[in-house]
Amino acid sequence: MLAQWLKKPQSLAVLVAVGAGLGIGFALVPRSASPDAAELPLPEVTLFGERLAAGDGRAKLALERVRHFAAGKFQLQFPDGKYREIQLAELGAEIDKLRLAELVRGSHDRTSAMVRLWRAQAEPGAMALPVPITLNPARALPALRALKDEFDRVPVDARLDLEARKLVPESTGRLLDIDGTLAAIEDALLRGERKVSLAFVERKPKRVAAELGNVAFDEVLGYFETRYDRSDRYQARSFNLRLAASKLDGYVLLPGEVFDFNEVVGARDEANGYKVASVIAEGELVDGIGGGTCQISGTLHGAAFFAGLEIVERYPHTRPSGYIKMGLDATVVYPTINFRLKNPFPFAVVLHQTVKNGTVRAEILGPKRTRTVTLIRRIDAAIPYEEVERPDKDLPSGVRVLGQRGVAGFKLRRYRITREGEHAVRERWDDAYPPTSQIVRVGTGDISKDKVHVEDDPHAEYVADELLVVTQGADADEDNSKPSERGGFTRESREAGKYGTEGWTQEAGMPYWQGKQKRPERSDSRPGSEELETPKPMRKRAKSDI
């Protein structure tokens, strides 16, 4: 009992105060020395469980033992039994030599308060000295914060494994409690122990398996496809596509619930496994972590649009994307720009997204499809782009190269008409895509033209149908429709108008690069038939995960 009491830091303060008070009191009140005080036995003293020999060398021996202990490793234990070792020096371990000297001196003083308290016990046994090691917060806190990024675990909701057609249970997350862990380490050090259980705050998942037992997911309520380039040049982007899709595949959205893309998919950073690939930064294509994520959100938006889900939050890109039609893309930037959906149905729906064989396919699964959904998209105006020149010392003087092809801005209006039986609901949105400047790199370097190989931006002129109508649903006519493996039929009609013909930007008076041309990059070909090609990045800015 005494040993446990002595291990507490406040106990020593109490002993010192009591001892000081008693000393002053005894000095003021005349008394005679106890005739048997010199005959009373002294306790056997231990430190780290080993006997501390009496005599003048006790203080030196105690200091050596504490120094050896402080120079060693400390074990941080996880709830699952695993552990991590760390040097106590990394936590800023410091020996309180003054306190150690007071403890040793008091342990062989028959009149000290600590000895008298020890003697008052029924079965005193050996007196175990506490270990006077403290942690310097200036070093301990940063060390624990660094470990926090590694030790924290996000909760994982229960979901459906659609390939195996089984329910995957939830898993609880955790947050390292830095203050609680620091206090636990200090308590363990006082006891002379070299290990401690980490203190965590439990993070419960939002979705548990018990909620998903009766979810029906045999029918496709809406689907959408986009294409991606499988060549070696775009391996990092393809990897990001598969990783992001895996985060949301099998996600169950109960009636009235909102799906939050950034929350479910998480941060697009190296810690979460994402790689460097092309992203959009203020209309330009540059290198950035997580490139490709917007294709996952855009493809999901298309499926949700034709399934009739409520679009709670969605933003277009700062430039049209080659892999998806204008009006169906959905840009995301973690954590600032989000994409959110709401399930308006009285039944649960399941998100299903796959990335394979050059196709990203998103499906909204549920009971039998009863709705027909039509997209009507009309381009109201085009905004001319400008041409800017940028000096480039890596090019020979006077050489001009197309660094980025200009893309006109567009103002468009979208309608969604949802029919179910005799009822129809019409929704309207207005989208705006700002123009993307055409960038010409002008050489300023003292380099021979024969030693430099230059290539223009491989993007072709961007063309888009002025009017686009797409219908998807169970009752879509099979005539002039595109059959799908799952999800009924999709029917399209379009009018090229003044924005859908090659050479329209030149006719509109916009700067036109007369280099080697590819076929026009078209947003309004068959669903998912577009592939994104990216030019050499120019510079880094705030990014959109295209």
**Looking at residues 44-54, what average pLDDT do you find?**
92
Q: Is residue 546 part of a domain?
A: no
pLDDT at position 519 over 90: no
Q: Is residue 544 part of a domain?
A: no
Q: Are residues 187 and 295 in the same domain?
A: no
Q: Are residues 72 and 197 in the same domain?
A: yes
Is residue 6 within 8 A of residue 129, CB to CB? The reply is: yes
Q: Is 367 helix (H, G, I), strand (E, B) or coil?
A: coil
Query: For tokens 């060693």, what's the residue?
Result: 72
Q: Are residues 170 and 235 in the same domain?
A: no
Q: Are residues 173 and 224 in the same domain?
A: no
Residue 121, domain extent: 2-201
Q: Are residues 362 and 304 in the same domain?
A: yes
Position 487 scores a pLDDT of: 72
Last residue of a domain, one of 201, 233, 256: 201
Q: Is residue 528 part of a domain?
A: no
Nearest to 310 by CA among 258, 250, 362, 375: 258
Nearest to 217 by CA among 188, 176, 249, 261: 249
Nearest to 532 by CA among 297, 320, 290, 385: 320
Number of domains composing the chain: 2
Query: For tokens 């008076």, what's the residue?
Result: 509
Answer with the residue of higher pLDDT: 435 or 487: 435
Q: Is residue 529 part of a domain?
A: no
Q: Is residue 209 part of a domain?
A: no
Q: Are residues 266 and 363 in the same domain?
A: yes
- pLDDT tens column, 381-424: 999 999 999 999 999 999 999 999 999 999 999 999 999 989 99
Nearest to 369 by CA among 216, 520, 238, 225: 216
**Looking at residues 519-537, what average pLDDT do you find?**
39
Cis peptide leading into residue 335 (ω within 30°): yes
Helix (H) or strand (E) holding 309: none
Is residue 147 within 8 A of residue 84, CB to CB? The reply is: yes
Q: Are residues 256 and 316 in the same domain?
A: yes
Q: Is residue 538 part of a domain?
A: no
150, with CB counted inside 10 A (0-12, 13-18, 19+), is: exposed
Q: Model pTM?
A: 0.72
Last residue of a domain, one of 168, 201, 234: 201
**Looking at residues 305-324, what average pLDDT do you find?**
95
Q: Are residues 223 and 154 in the same domain?
A: no
Q: Are residues 192 and 237 in the same domain?
A: no
Q: Are residues 379 and 462 in the same domain?
A: yes
Q: Are residues 503 and 366 in the same domain?
A: yes
Last residue of a domain, one of 201, 232, 262: 201
Q: Is residue 223 part of a domain?
A: yes
Nearest to 388 by CA among 435, 444, 434, 440: 440
Q: Are residues 158 and 74 in the same domain?
A: yes
Q: Quick one: tokens of 407?
A: 């893309």
The span from the CA of 350 to the CA of 366, in Å, is 6
- pLDDT tens column, 336-391: 999 999 999 999 999 999 999 999 999 999 998 999 999 999 999 999 999 999 99
Q: Is residue 109 part of a domain?
A: yes
